[in-house]
């Protein structure tokens, strides 16, 4: 009562309680409507909220003009929140996004045109022929030994055999003489007095000449040796 008297002294007017009550009543109504709309919005967003109304069930829908809803949002200080929700619709839940991503990865790809992939045909590797053997190298022809013939005199001879029977020694000498060689039978005795018949061809100036003569006539002079006279 004292507060009303102070206001009367300051302004010269008595405050009217009915006017303040009339101003507060519409704001309370709009607040109740907004709360009801939010509850309805949350109800529809819950799983199963979009199911059709069953038999014997009623569903009430409250509609509010857009201008009144904007003015109510301004009075309540939530206009920015409503604009943000309108500009950015609700995103799907993380579980739904992961399931959709996994389903896309597991979807098998079908070959286009009904064609099946076939393995490329393998071509047999060509057979490699072994290289032809190299022709045998011909050995260089050996130079023929210089022809050596017996001389009339010299310190060396070619002895073709030594016999204990004179007849055998004579037959060997005749065989060698057929080649125009000067083959002779030399008779000598041993320490016990036995007679030995040696067939020789001569003469040669040195041992090398006698050996060369034997090598040049190896087929006719088998077992022959060079001896000093």
| CATH number of the structural domain spanning residue 167 | 3.30.70.1070
Q: How far apart are CA 26 and CA 20, in angstroms?
A: 11
Q: How far apart are CA 66 and CA 37, in angstroms?
A: 13
Assigned token pair, 48? 């199963």
Reduced 3-state DSSP string for 104-171: HHHCCCCCHHHCCCCCCCCCCCCCCCCCCCCCCCCCCCCCCCCCCCCCCCCCEEEEEEEECCHHHHHH
Asked whether 199 and 184 are in contact (CB, 8 A), the reply is yes
Asked whether 8 and 2 are in contact (CB, 8 A), the reply is no
Does residue 111 lie within any of the structural domains?
A: no
The whole-model pTM stands at 0.38
pLDDT surpasses 70 at 4: no
Predicted local distance difference test score (pLDDT) of residue 228: 93
pLDDT surpasses 70 at 25: no
pLDDT surpasses 70 at 79: no
Sign of CA dihedral 30, 36, 40, 42: positive
Does residue 50 lie within any of the structural domains?
A: no
Does residue 138 lie within any of the structural domains?
A: no
Straight-line distance from the first to the last Cα atom of the chain, in angstroms, rounded to the nearest whole number: 183
Q: How far apart are CA 199 and CA 227, in angstroms?
A: 12
Sign of CA dihedral 177, 179, 181, 183: negative
Predicted local distance difference test score (pLDDT) of residue 164: 94
Domain range for 193 is 156-228
SS3 (DSSP) at 178: coil
Predicted local distance difference test score (pLDDT) of residue 229: 86
Phi, psi angle pair for 201, to nearest 5°: -125, 130
| Total structural domains within the chain | 2
Q: How far apart are CA 198 and CA 161, in angstroms?
A: 6
Does residue 56 lie within any of the structural domains?
A: no
Does residue 96 lie within any of the structural domains?
A: no
Give 147's Cβ-side CA count (13 Å radius). 1
Strand partners, 189: 195
Does residue 37 lie within any of the structural domains?
A: yes
pLDDT level of residue 95 (50, 70, 90 thresholds): very low
Which tops the pLDDT comparison, 18 or 178?
Answer: 178
Does residue 53 lie within any of the structural domains?
A: no
Does residue 123 lie within any of the structural domains?
A: no
């Amino acid at each position: 009562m004292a507060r009303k008297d102070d206001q009367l002294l300051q302004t010269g007017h008595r405050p009217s309680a009915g006017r303040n009550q009339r101003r507060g009543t519409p704001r309370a109504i709009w607040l109740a409507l907004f709360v009801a709309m939010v509850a309805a919005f949350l109800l529809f967003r819950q799983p199963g909220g979009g199911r059709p109304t069953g038999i014997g069930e009623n569903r009430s829908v409250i509609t509010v003009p857009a201008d009144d809803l904007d003015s109510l949002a301004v009075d309540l200080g939530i206009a920015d929140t409503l604009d943000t929700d309108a500009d950015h619709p609700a995103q799907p839940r993380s579980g739904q996004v992961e399931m959709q991503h996994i389903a896309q990865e597991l979807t098998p790809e079908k070959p286009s045109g009904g064609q099946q992939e076939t393995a490329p045909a393998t071509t047999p590797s060509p057979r490699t022929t072994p290289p032809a053997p190299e022709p045998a190298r011909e050995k260089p022809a050996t130079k023929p030994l210089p022809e050596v013939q017996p001389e009339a005199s010299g310190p060396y001879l070619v002895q073709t055999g030594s016999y204990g029977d004179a007849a055998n020694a004579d037959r060997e000498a005749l065989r060698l003489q057929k080649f125009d060689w000067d083959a002779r039978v030399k008779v000598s005795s041993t320490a016990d007095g036995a007679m030995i018949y040696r067939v020789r061809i001569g003469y040669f100036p040195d041992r090398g000449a006698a050996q060369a003569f034997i090598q040049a006539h190896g087929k006719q002079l088998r077992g022959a040796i060079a001896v000093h006279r």
